[in-house]
Structure 1
Amino acid sequence: MTLSTGNFAATANVHTLTRLKDDSPAWAILRSPLAPAILSILGTVFSGDRQQIEGSELVHAIDLLLTDIREQTDADLPRSAAHYLTEWVKAGWLIRRSPQGQREEIYELSMETLAALDYIQTLAAPTRTVTRSRLATLITSLQSLAADTDPDETTAIARLEEQQAALQARIDRIRERGVEAISDDEAIEKTHEVLGLLGDLPTDFARVRSDIEGIDSNLRRAVVEEELTASEVLENVFRGVDLISDSEAGRAFNGFYELLFDREQGARLDATVEAVLSRDFIDSLSPTDRTQLRHLVGGLEGSAVQVQDSMTSLSRSLRRFVQSREAAAQQALVQSITSAQQLALHVAQHLTTGRHPMDIELELSGFQPRSISTWRLHDPADYRITEEVEDHTVGDIELAAMYERIRASEIDWPELHAAVNDVRTTHPSPSIAYVLGAHPATQGLASVVGLIRLADTYGERGEGTETLPWTSAQGQRLRARFPVWRFTQELPELNTFYRPSTPTKDF
């Protein structure tokens, strides 16, 4: 949006800004009392190449950040991560999508949130705009614009000859004096200029995607409200005209996409990035700046592919919309709603009170009220038990049988601790297989699993693998290959299971 200028434009700008204050999600998030926490959380989670995140992963990440913020700041954030996530989607700060073929919803920052984050970043770390690099970029862009719009053949040839002479003079100077590279300070300044342009791209991509979705929505609305017939849309489709890609936003993005994925330009861009990263001044950049440069091409391609997939999906969806009966059904629904509204207005003009008879019978649905006299009090006797409860006499319990049942449901940790400590008296760092050789697995696989868990706590990983044997409950001898783990620590003694020698009655 561009504000008007001049004395008579002030009032118009007030109305425009007032509308933005009420409708703009970017303005709303900046004036929110929780803006520092919200922008910090969203900027942290959606950082780097993480532009789209699945719902479960996003809830987990926000929950961890909420815990840290509550403990270390005085921010009032009493609700859960899932609650805030729903609120932020409703406020327009996050976009929730349900891609076809995926089980989980995905979330991404809205264009307005990206704009708010960019504004906050300029306040937190303002960049120098009056630099030699930026002025050179401005001059070069203006010269290119003047050259590309000049239809005079003589001027064009003279300009190219001048450039040729300047290049030849530079070649001669290099041959005579060698290459004069710019200083590290100038190189860093140019790098920051590139990174500044790169930082604007996520917001630009989001804006293009929002514009494209708006075009699709407007086309569907025009078809439903019969401002544009479905046959006209179909005629364009059959003639090969893609109304979404052929829009202003679509054409602008397609030019960017084609240039980015041009093989020659892509290879040249990759080589240029590698050359820049090999320069000595790169070590003076921050790790974040180096990472952005290193992933420049991949980040651009990933974001461009997402927008291109969105354009393709919307184009196909629009075609299905006008080809199927969905458009006709939506039109019929809109006509019915409009007709009902017109009838309601007509009736309202002839009604003076709300008790005017209309000779219309309406069948009520749902709960029907009844008189209190028809209610029936609850009588607990209606649910009394008439059958006699069977009386079970006290029986005998054998502790040996109880012991076996306990061993069948739990790992005998005291037995395993004792076995490992016994073997360590003769071998300082026995492996799991060594322990099983001296003390076979009395509980089968459960004993083997228990030794593996103990080795993870009281041992260290060794080299290679070994075979762990045990006998199943059916008497089958089994074995498995597992990485070598050695017990290097003394295991604490545990109270052993009670092993009765004779049965005890009336327990």
Structure 2
Amino acid sequence: MDYYAISSLRENHAGWALLRAQNAPLAVSFFIRAFTGPNQRDLGRQELIDHLDDVLFGLRDVLGEDKFPRPASEYLDEWAAPERAWLRKYYVPGQDEPRYDLTAAAEDVVHWVESLRGRDFVATQSRLTSIFAVLKALVQQSETDPEVRLAELQRQRDGIDAEMQRIRDGNIRVMTAPEALDHFQQLTSLAKDLLSDFREVEQNFRKLDRQVREQIATWDGSQGELLETIFANQQDISSSLQGRTFQGFWDYLMSPQLRTELRDLLQRATQIEALSGTANLHAVTNLHQDWLPAVEQTQATVRQLSQQMRRLLDDKVFLENKRIMQLIRSIESGALGTREAPPSGVFLDVAAPSVEVSLPFERPLYEPSRKVMVDDDVVAADDTDVDAGALFSQFHVDTQRLKSSIDAVLSDAEQATLADITDAHPLQQGLAEIVAYYQLATESDWASINPEATQQLSWQLPDGSIREATIDQIIFGRPA
């Protein structure tokens, strides 16, 4: 970022404005107490006013009655105003009371202020372990050479066998207390950051939808072109990187097997002896319970955006129908006025109805066709110069076999790329089989084609030569 970009953020970013505000300590401390501290979202206005009244009462008792003279409701309205945008004020269908939530910019400021306090224990080993794990997954899962991947899997198997033998010999290595505390702090930090990400994801969804609604409001073309544009934008929202990663997280969280495994791991983590003195240890067991309301609220936002888009279309159709009815009424009124005082001369020419008559004798008589003389002198061709192999080299790609290959790979994974599928079930018919996979991806609701990423596929010809093709990344997902 250069000087001009930073200067623009200083003048326009809501988070920077919060840091520069005169009552920033009051706002940040209240946000911590009401939202980030208890990890709450979607709070009613009266509940927030009660929270803020308690905070103001304590501050006035210590600093004096004239420190924060305004009532709590005015502070809430100021923080939720568009020029502040520290709180998001909205209404839930079926409720008259407004609801409030912390914006992503304000939450970033809260986390930054909390980080200024410093930490007694800084996790370093667990972060390095996480970096190595992510880096290994990135490199190994992107490798297209089967020999390299098999060698890596063999190395992992050898390491697992060696570890099992050490355990059989009684040499069991247990994580030390500093290491356990290091990993536990990393776990809680990542879980808290993940909850913070949901607000930004939801804000990005609303930003994409706002662009579509602005386009609807200013559209001056035909209704069909508008619908085509809206459907394309809605597809862009669901197929964007934000939408695909969020849907992948939702599918992962909704898997009964993975949820059971996560709950079991969290429960066993609270029973580690090295963590027995850690504060709020048992709160870790409810991590997935904290994720579910946040994810559900984001999903509800996406559904609400779709409903709002439908209402915008209905309103536009209603206005167009109303305009058509107004034109019809004006034509009828003009016709009634003309009936009482018709103009002089020819007012309107209407072609008289007529019937086309075709008499039987007007049809021509039957006339036999003329015989055409054909020279039927046939010259035999030399069969040795004709290659008939092309007539017998045609083949058919069985799409049912390809679907079975996809289902077999997705039985062990939530989603898989075409490269993963062809690794498990190599290509047999070359480029024609790749085209068939493309057709299955475009016809399926659980597949997507990412033109921003590529993947390389290879297959072997009957003569032993290898052919390779670089295509857009195709991702198949397991149907819900």
With the length of structure 2 as denominator, give the TM-score of the two structures. Answer: 0.62
Choose from 51, 57, 64 the match for 1:67: 57
Alignment of 1:299-448 (within 5 A): 299-325=290-316
In the alignment, which residue of structure 1 is the partner of 2:445?
none
Alignment gaps of 5+ in structure 2: 324-480
Question: Within 2, Cα distance between the matches of 1:163 and 1:194?
Answer: 25
Is the aligned partner of 1:19 residue 2:8? yes
Choose from 86, 98, 118 the match for 1:125: 118
Question: Within 2, Cα distance between the matches of 1:241 and 1:119?
Answer: 34
Is the aligned partner of 1:275 residue 2:268? yes
The Cα of 1:21 is off from its aligned counterpart by 1.0
Percent of residue pairs identical:
23
The Cα of 1:130 is off from its aligned counterpart by 6.3
- C-alpha change, 1:24 and 1:241, in structure 2 (3 Å) is closer
- C-alpha change, 1:224 and 1:328, in structure 2 (3 Å) is farther
Question: Within 2, Cα distance between the matches of 1:147 and 1:228?
Answer: 50
Choose from 136, 140, 146 the match for 1:147: 140
Q: CA RMSD in A?
A: 2.5
The Cα of 1:76 is off from its aligned counterpart by 2.8
Is the aligned partner of 1:296 residue 2:287? yes
The Cα of 1:161 is off from its aligned counterpart by 0.5
The Cα of 1:35 is off from its aligned counterpart by 1.3
Question: Within 1, Cα distance between the matches of 2:70 and 2:144?
Answer: 64
Alignment of 1:89-104 (within 5 A): 89-90=80-81, 91-104=84-97
In the alignment, which residue of structure 1 is the partner of 2:250?
257
Question: Within 1, Cα distance between the matches of 2:167 and 2:136?
Answer: 25
Choose from 66, 69, 79 the match for 2:70: 79
Question: Within 2, Cα distance between the matches of 1:118 and 1:127?
Answer: 17
Is the aligned partner of 1:49 residue 2:39? yes
Q: What amino acid does structure 2 have at the position aligned with 1:25?
A: A
- C-alpha change, 1:232 and 1:266, in structure 2 (3 Å) is farther
Choose from 11, 30, 34 the match for 2:23: 34
Q: 2:263 touches 2:285 (CA, 8 Å); kept in 1?
A: no
Matched position secondary structure for 1:325: helix
Q: 1:277 touches 1:294 (CA, 8 Å); kept in 2?
A: yes
Matched position secondary structure for 1:107: strand
Alignment of 1:171-190 (within 5 A): 171-190=164-183
The Cα of 1:98 is off from its aligned counterpart by 0.2
Question: Within 2, Cα distance between the matches of 1:213 and 1:259?
Answer: 23
Choose from 207, 215, 228 the match for 1:222: 215
Single out whichever of 25-34 and 123-132 deviates more from structure 2.
Answer: 123-132
Q: 1:273 touches 1:294 (CA, 8 Å); kept in 2?
A: yes
Choose from 165, 180, 197 the match for 1:204: 197
Q: What amino acid does structure 2 have at the position aligned with 1:30?
A: L
- C-alpha change, 1:316 and 1:242, in structure 2 (3 Å) is farther
Matched position secondary structure for 1:180: coil
Matched position secondary structure for 2:80: helix
Larger radius of gyration: 1
- C-alpha change, 1:230 and 1:27, in structure 2 (3 Å) is farther
Once the two structures are superposed, residues 292-315 of structure 1 have per-residue CA deviations (whole angstroms, 9 ceiling, x without a partner) of x12201001111111011111112
Matched position secondary structure for 1:102: coil
Once the two structures are superposed, residues 352-374 of structure 1 have per-residue CA deviations (whole angstroms, 9 ceiling, x without a partner) of xxxxxxxxxxxxxxxxxxxxxxx
Choose from 170, 195, 206 the match for 1:213: 206
The Cα of 1:240 is off from its aligned counterpart by 12
Matched position secondary structure for 1:182: coil
Question: Within 2, Cα distance between the matches of 1:245 and 1:228?
Answer: 25
- C-alpha change, 1:306 and 1:127, in structure 2 (3 Å) is farther
- C-alpha change, 1:248 and 1:231, in structure 2 (3 Å) is farther
Question: Within 2, Cα distance between the matches of 1:328 and 1:321?
Answer: 11
In the alignment, which residue of structure 1 is the partner of 2:402?
none
Q: 1:224 touches 1:327 (CA, 8 Å); kept in 2?
A: no
Question: Within 2, Cα distance between the matches of 1:228 and 1:169?
Answer: 70
Is the aligned partner of 1:194 residue 2:194? no
With the length of structure 1 as denominator, give the TM-score of the two structures. Answer: 0.59
Matched position secondary structure for 2:238: coil
The Cα of 1:103 is off from its aligned counterpart by 2.9
Question: Within 1, Cα distance between the matches of 2:70 and 2:14?
Answer: 21
Q: What amino acid does structure 2 have at the position aligned with 1:180?
A: R
- C-alpha change, 1:49 and 1:228, in structure 2 (3 Å) is farther
Q: 1:55 touches 1:106 (CA, 8 Å); kept in 2?
A: yes
- C-alpha change, 1:263 and 1:65, in structure 2 (3 Å) is same
Q: 1:224 touches 1:328 (CA, 8 Å); kept in 2?
A: no
- C-alpha change, 1:127 and 1:146, in structure 2 (3 Å) is farther
The Cα of 1:290 is off from its aligned counterpart by 3.8
Question: Within 1, Cα distance between the matches of 2:215 and 2:234?
Answer: 17
The Cα of 1:238 is off from its aligned counterpart by 7.5
Matched position secondary structure for 2:116: helix
The Cα of 1:229 is off from its aligned counterpart by 6.5
The Cα of 1:51 is off from its aligned counterpart by 1.4
Question: Within 2, Cα distance between the matches of 1:142 and 1:93?
Answer: 36
Q: 2:86 touches 2:105 (CA, 8 Å); kept in 1?
A: yes
Matched position secondary structure for 2:100: strand
Q: 2:216 touches 2:312 (CA, 8 Å); kept in 1?
A: no
Q: 1:222 touches 1:228 (CA, 8 Å); kept in 2?
A: no
Alignment gaps of 5+ in structure 1: 4-12, 333-507
Question: Within 2, Cα distance between the matches of 1:286 and 1:101?
Answer: 40
Q: 2:270 touches 2:276 (CA, 8 Å); kept in 1?
A: no
The Cα of 1:235 is off from its aligned counterpart by 4.3
Q: What amino acid does structure 1 have at the position aligned with 2:298?
A: V
The Cα of 1:71 is off from its aligned counterpart by 1.4
